[in-house]
Every structure is written in structure tokens, then in C-alpha cells.
Structure 1
Amino acid sequence: MGDNDVLRRRLADLGLTQDELAGQMNDALEALTGRCGDFSARTVRNLLNGTTRRPIGRTRAALERVFACPLTDLGFAPPSTAAPREDPVLRRTFIAGITAAVATPTNAPTTPRRIGTSDVERLQRKFAEIIASDHRHGGQLGIEQQAAAMSGRALALQETGSASQRVRGQVYASAAAFRSSAMWAAIDGRRFDDAIGHMREAQALAEMSGDPFIKFRIWSHAGTMYRHMGRPADAAAANTVARGLSLTRRDPMFASLGLARHAAIHGAAGDRIAARRCFGQAQDAMNRADPHAQRPVWMNAFYDQAELDSLALSAHLSLGDFARAEFHGHRCLAGLRPHMHRSKAIATARVARAQLEQGDVEPAVATAMSVPADQAALHPRVVGMLRTFGTRLDVIAPNTAPAHTWTQYVRDTRRTPA
């Protein structure tokens, strides 16, 4: 008996925790049988550590649905000729569910299903899980794929029964929200062509939903995407659409985010005066915002003073104002909430660059080496930032002790198994 390394790698590729995989397996079983499963993190641990070497019945069906491949592709032994005994009640439940799903004649009378708020709440819980996974891992293809798949599931729900106009709008908003998370994961992972495709899907779904909050998120993401692509004019145009929505006049927190991202766009375009003016306005708007107002989960999960300082750090780095960038960087790191792993790695890499450009070589190398190893090796944006840091270090302080320390650190990090 030994660890299932294949399954462990597939789990890491999707950016899922053990609890999250168990949740997806429960959803898969519900889709197959109409009844939610009771898989838990313990189930997944047994699959990973080799305690369960040949999953059968509902476990096998759920795994194959989640990963869209046969069990043998997940590192498990092929099913034996005589299947191991399984709880007969569970087996009958599973078979009955499958039979009902695929064997009922299309003309058989059925009771129309009513799509309600409980369905929307389930989608919103899944969306919150994706948001949390993004803050832990960021930019991973698995997060993008999971979010896109959940958008498809939300759309498929529309075809399963009747619903009020309000509930239909909420389901479309959920589909748009999932697709916007797929878009963000692609932006964060530097897969810009894929991000543009997700953006177009998300925009269409948002229009059908009529939800101004998700419209703001999508257009604001579009502005960030174009900024990272080096297209500041398109970035400003997209972000202007977000800032023009009426919710920015109702809630100063949304006005603040729109202004802060516009300031970062001005920084990328080299407009120092406009960037500083926009950051001042963003800070004023944040100070006016009601901290207890109801806002979407995605907004509450990330936008605060630390994120405003993160955008200021990015802008001042682009402008070459390295002392001001470092100031905002330290303030960002001091204020980041514990779950913001991806944001912490990005801010730390940027602070290191700001220190280096001011000639503080030893502190800069120490700061860069403090970026968590998993983010330094796996997150595309962080990998690129640290690569640029190394290039600039070779220019600013070649053949120095800090430069040698950094070179050795990079070699050791690459040799260390993930």
C-alpha cells in the first residue's frame, strides 16, 4: 500500500483541497442519482494514501465524473473481475438513480421542477469556494476550468424547470460570476487569449442577468486584463464602463475600486499626475464608504485598504517612483488578510523590486527570498516578477555577495521537489 501520486498531482493541477474535492464528488453523485453524496475529506485522504486502492460503485462514478477520465488514469488499480462487496442499500440507491436518469421514456409524465432560491444559494456557495481557492492559489488552470464548468452547470440548471424572472436573473448572474472568475484566473495565469474568450461569455451572461454588480466585476477585470497586456488605452476604456455604472454612485466602495484601478492604468501609461489624483480620489471614496453595507462576496473578499495600497504599489513601480512604491508595499503587506496568499506573494515580489531599484540590494534579496516557494515556482505572475528581479540584480549589483546568494537560492529552489 502506498500513496496515489497520480491522484495527488491531478488534485494539485485543479488547485483543489481535499474538502473541495469531496464537495465536487458529492455534487457529481447528486447529478448522477439526484441525491447528494456524503463524501468527506477523510474519503479523499483514503484515496490519496492508498487505503482505498480500487474505488467501486458511487465513489468510482463520482471520481470519473469529476476528473472526466477512467479510474486507471487516476492511478487506481483496474476493477477486479468480481467486484468487492458493497453496501447493498447504497448500491440499490445508486442503480435506481442511474436508471431513473437514463431509462425513463421521454414521453413519461413527470412533475415539473421548480428552480428556486435554494438552487441559487448552492451556486453561490460554490462561487465562494472558487473565490477562496483563487486567493490561495491564483492563476491556476484548474481554477479556470472549474469556474468555467460551474458556469456551464448554472446555465444547464435553467433548462431543468420553471422559475420566476427574479430567480432566472440570479442564475444567469451566477453563471456570469463563475465565468468572470474563469476570466480572472486566465488573466492571473497570463493566458490572455483564453481570458478574452471568458470575458465575452461573461459579458453576454451579465446582460441577461441584469445584475449591475457582476457587470462591474467583468468590466473592471477587463480593464485590468488590458493593463497587463500593455494596452492602457483599452484598459481605460473598459474600466470607464465599470465606473459609469450607477452602483458606483450609490456605493463609494465601488467608486473607490474603479478609481484605484484607473490610477493603476494611468501608472502603466506613465501619467504620474493623473495616477496620484486618482489614488487620492480612491482613498477619499473608501473613507466615505459604509463598512457594513451589503456587497457581493467577491467584493468583500478582496477590496480593502491593503488592495488599494497594492494597486498604488504597482502604479508607482511602473512610474519609477520606487520609494513611494515601497511605502505602499509595506502598508499593503501589513494590512493583508490571512487568506490573501496570492496577493501577499505578488506584493512581496514588488517590494523586493522597489528596494533593489533604490540600491538596497541585501534587503531586496532577503525580501525576494521570503516569497513562499510554492508561489515563487507555480504562480505565473510571481514567477515573471522574480525572473525580472534576477535580471535587474545582475545589472545593478553583478558579482556581489547578494547576487551570488540569489543565484544559489534560485538553483536550490528549482532542485527542490514540489
Structure 2
Amino acid sequence: MAASPHSPNSTFRRMRAQQSPAEFAALVRRAAKEIGETVSCDARYIGRVESGEIRCPNYAYERVFLHMFPGLTLADLGFSPREAVRGRSAQRAPAPFSALTHRPGTDSGTGTSPKESDVLRRAFMAGGSATVAAATLGLTLLGDSRRLPSRAGESEAAAVEDAVRQIRLLDDRHGADALYRKAAEPLRTAYALLDAGARRQSTEDRLHAGAGELAVSVGWLAHDSGRFDDARSHYAEALATARVSGDAGLEAHAFSNMAFLARDCGRAREAVRAAQAGRRAARPLGSPRLLSLLALREAGGWAGLADRKACEEALTRAHTEFAKGGTGSDPEWMSFFGEAELEYLEARCWSALGEHSRAARHARRAADLQDPHFARNVALYTAELAGDLARAGAPDEAAWAGGRVLDLLTEVQSTRIRSMLSDTARTLVPHQRSPRVGAFLTRHAAV
């Protein structure tokens, strides 16, 4: 019988028997390899399943679990139906956008219950435009009045900061396409609050930082959904805000994203210069991880210029800084930057330099290391892997990886990822007589 929302999944716990969560996780990973899946299962994931926090696994885990327990269904393993989790029939009106920062079974201290958070998440996944607007980015930053205060206070500054966090969380889980248009309203309001001024200098500083970070976040949504001109405008707005307020951290962030965008637009020289400018801004901040990311941005630019030596030097700097570990000076926005992202960005460098087999090794590690609950990044890294494998002369493996991406695109909306997958499909057309490749191409064409 399926577990009720957020109640412990005692059925799944019984399947583990006397094994520890870590031992059982190892069995899950082994079973995944048997069927050609890649999951990053660990003791923490098993704990989340058994606590009821994960009510239904993603498609990759579903295939693995059904392989491990032949003849059983997800319901037999204590999971809820996927349609119930996604809430295709959910009719409850969603609560404010801020509630979406919660994860099932957790409490961030703002007073929103896990049940309310789950309703919101189901509403988002239902996909209707009105529901998406209300359940995700309906925040006005002004409460119900929708009127600007004469002077912004701490509550308005906190609302701007919270909007940044929530946009990042939603992007991690679902991709940018459904979010970009709705993110414009909070951004406009944040800058209107900044124009109105604040009661205290400390509040005004927070508003500058929050509005700038919000501009970067909205710029990223534009970037990931293929709106490059919009992204460039938002990043420039963030950079201007950083310069006006003397915020070196925001300046480094803006330059990092500008380097990324320039690389994607084929302006490799600009990517190098933006990354180097970001490094100059970041030096006083005391964050080796930030310097590592900026070195990777620079390496991507050098790879685009086909300068292997300069690219390798930048990659070496990136690994050296990354190995120093995290510090209390690491910016909050860098929570996405772990070993998986480092491997992915290095894969892109080798791919640009034409070393596709080497790129595929790094992309595979990126996909293996990524927390499977951040579906967008799993899809992104696996799409990179599919493209690298296709160009490395491994069409069947590429088709397998492409199939995994198609599975994930039921949860993720990203023009960037779809474009990468389309490039891979075109590369695989000469191999369409292979049954696995043919099946992938047919499925891709249908999607």
C-alpha cells in the first residue's frame, strides 16, 4: 500500500532488512549498473525514502528498484503514484511563492507546513500557465497591497533575498523555461524598491545586493532558456548595480555569468576577459571556490579560442583552488558549485578542444556525482555526456544517455538542454540502423 504524504515508508524499510543504509545504497548502485542506469544513491537518499520525504522516485530510480524487486510495483514498495505526487488533479489554491523554499518533511522556519509546500510543488508540476504563475513567481515583494512603501524596510529587503533563493531552487528542480517570464515582476519590484530608497543604509546595502543577485538569477533564466540578448541585459544591470554599491561579490558573480554567456554565444575572447575581470573582483573575498569557478570560466574561453596551453593552465588553477575546500567566505549563490559542476565544466573544455573521449569521461563523472534530486543538472550533465559519446564514436552509449535525458525532460524545462540533445540526435543520424540509436531517434523526434 502506498505511503501517505510524508509518513515513513515502512514497506521500503522492510525491503532493506538487516543491511545498513550505506550497504543497501551500494546494492542499488550495483543494480543500476546491471541495467545500464547511473544513479548516485547513498545512505542519505535511502534515509529520505524511508522517512517518506521522497514519495515517488524519479524514472531512473524507478527502473532500478523494479529491477531489484521483480514482479513488484512502486506501490508495492510503499511509494505514492507519480500522478498523485505531481498533482495533476490538485485543485487547492497555492500559497505565496515563499512557501516553495520548503522541501517535503522540512521546515525552514517561516511557518509554512510541509503539506502546504507539497501542494505548491504539485501545483507547479501541473503545468497550467495560471497555476504556474500563482504557485511559483506570484510574489510581488509588496504583500497584498501591491503599493510601494515610501521607504523600504528590513521586510522588503528580506523578501528580495528570499525571492533570489526561491528562483534558484525552482531552477535547480525544473529548469528555466517556465520561470523566466514570471521572474520579471519580482525583479522590477526590487529595483522600484531600490529607487524608493531605504530607511537605513544597511537596508539599502541589502537591497542593492539583493536586487543585483535577482538580476543575475533572472539573467540566468533567460540564458538557460535561450534568450541571450535578455540575459546579457540582465547581467549588465547586475554589474552596474555592483559597481554603484561597491559590492565586489556581486561584481564577481555578474562577470562569472557574463563569461558563461559569452562562451555560449561564441564570443570566446570576451569570455576570457570577463572571467579575468571576475577574478580581479574576487581576489579580496577569500573564497578559493569562487576563484576556481572563475578559472573554469576562463578555461572555457581559452578552449573556444583553441588555445590548449592557456586552457590547461586555467584548469590547473581551477583544480588547485577547488582543492583548498569551502570556506565561510564562499558566496551563497555558489551552492551549486561542487565536484560535479567542476567535472562538467572541464568536460566542456575538452569537447571544445576536440577531445571527445576525454570529455565524455568527465561528463560521466559529473552525472554520477550529481545529487539526483537536482533534476536539471542531472539532465544537463547527461546531455553533455550523450553529445561527447556521439562525437567520440560510441553511438549506442550516446543513445542510451540521450534516452536518460528524454526521461528527465518530463520534469525539466530547459531550452539549453533540448538544444544539446537535438545536436546529439543530428550527430547520430548516420548510425540510425543500430536498434538502440534508431529507438532513441524515433523517440526524440516524437518528443
TM-score w.r.t. length of structure 2: 0.66
Q: Which residue of 2 aligns with 1:315?
A: 349
Q: Which residue of 2 aligns with 1:73?
A: none
Q: Which residue of 2 aligns with 1:107?
A: none
Matched, 1:357 2:391: yes
C-alpha distance in 2, partners of 1:208/1:299? 23
Q: Which residue of 2 aligns with 1:22?
A: 95
Cα distance per residue 1:371-412 (max 9 Å; x no partner): 1435278421111111111111123x243333322222224x
Cα distance per residue 1:93-133 (max 9 Å; x no partner): x9xx87x979xxxxxxxxx9774444323322221111101
Question: SS of 2:96's equivalent?
Answer: helix
1:138 to 166, 170, 175: 175
Q: Percent identity?
A: 25
Is the 8 Å Cα contact of residues 144 and 181 (structure 1) preserved in structure 2?
Answer: no
1:393 to 403, 428, 440: 428
Aligned length in residues:
338
- Note closer, same or farther for the CA distance 1:286–1:18 as it changes in structure 2 (3 Å cut): farther
Q: Which residue of 1 aligns with 2:161?
A: 124
Q: Of the two, which has the highest radius of gyration?
A: 1
Using the TM superposition, give the Cα deviation of residue 209 of structure 1 relative to its aligned residue in structure 2, in angstroms: 2.8
Range with bigger deviation, 207-216 or 153-162: 153-162
Q: Partner letter of residue 157 of structure 2?
A: V
C-alpha distance in 2, partners of 1:188/1:364? 23
Cα distance per residue 1:269-306 (max 9 Å; x no partner): 222222122111100011123x2414332112x11111
Cα distance per residue 1:59-87 (max 9 Å; x no partner): xxx89x9499xxxxxxxxxxxxxxxxxxx
2:278 to 208, 224, 242: 242
Question: SS of 2:176's equivalent?
Answer: coil
Using the TM superposition, give the Cα deviation of residue 246 of structure 1 relative to its aligned residue in structure 2, in angstroms: 4.3
Is the 8 Å Cα contact of residues 383 and 420 (structure 2) preserved in structure 1?
Answer: yes
Q: Which residue of 2 aligns with 1:188?
A: 224
1:148 to 153, 168, 184: 184
Matches within 5 A, 1:204-243: 204-243=240-279
Q: Partner letter of residue 332 of structure 2?
A: V
CA RMSD of aligned residues (A): 3.8
- Note closer, same or farther for the CA distance 1:173–1:146 as it changes in structure 2 (3 Å cut): farther
Is the 8 Å Cα contact of residues 151 and 176 (structure 1) preserved in structure 2?
Answer: no
Q: Which residue of 2 aligns with 1:293?
A: 328
Using the TM superposition, give the Cα deviation of residue 193 of structure 1 relative to its aligned residue in structure 2, in angstroms: 1.3
Cα distance per residue 1:323-367 (max 9 Å; x no partner): 211111122112213443222111101111222223222222111
Using the TM superposition, give the Cα deviation of residue 214 of structure 1 relative to its aligned residue in structure 2, in angstroms: 1.3
C-alpha distance in 2, partners of 1:202/1:350? 29
- Note closer, same or farther for the CA distance 1:119–1:325 as it changes in structure 2 (3 Å cut): same
Question: SS of 1:257's equivalent?
Answer: helix
C-alpha distance in 2, partners of 1:277/1:101? 52
- Note closer, same or farther for the CA distance 1:310–1:248 as it changes in structure 2 (3 Å cut): farther
Q: Partner letter of residue 216 of structure 1?
A: A
Q: Partner letter of residue 299 of structure 2?
A: A
- Note closer, same or farther for the CA distance 1:241–1:366 as it changes in structure 2 (3 Å cut): same
Question: SS of 2:328's equivalent?
Answer: coil
C-alpha distance in 1, partners of 2:287/2:122? 48
C-alpha distance in 2, partners of 1:382/1:399? 25
Using the TM superposition, give the Cα deviation of residue 206 of structure 1 relative to its aligned residue in structure 2, in angstroms: 2.0
C-alpha distance in 1, partners of 2:93/2:339? 30
2:417 to 382, 387, 391: 382
Q: Partner letter of residue 240 of structure 1?
A: Q
- Note closer, same or farther for the CA distance 1:212–1:146 as it changes in structure 2 (3 Å cut): farther
- Note closer, same or farther for the CA distance 1:338–1:292 as it changes in structure 2 (3 Å cut): farther
C-alpha distance in 1, partners of 2:372/2:423? 27
Range with bigger deviation, 398-407 or 163-172: 398-407
- Note closer, same or farther for the CA distance 1:389–1:246 as it changes in structure 2 (3 Å cut): closer
* Structure 2 unaligned spans of 5+: 1-85, 101-109, 125-133
Range with bigger deviation, 114-123 or 309-318: 114-123
Q: Which residue of 2 aligns with 1:334?
A: 368
Matches within 5 A, 1:359-374: 359-373=393-407
- Note closer, same or farther for the CA distance 1:360–1:236 as it changes in structure 2 (3 Å cut): same
Cα distance per residue 1:203-227 (max 9 Å; x no partner): 2222233221111111111111111
* Structure 1 unaligned spans of 5+: 1-11, 28-35, 49-61, 69-93, 103-111
Matched, 1:409 2:443: yes
Is the 8 Å Cα contact of residues 175 and 413 (structure 2) preserved in structure 1?
Answer: no
C-alpha distance in 1, partners of 2:317/2:311? 10
Q: Which residue of 2 aligns with 1:91?
A: none
Using the TM superposition, give the Cα deviation of residue 20 of structure 1 relative to its aligned residue in structure 2, in angstroms: 11
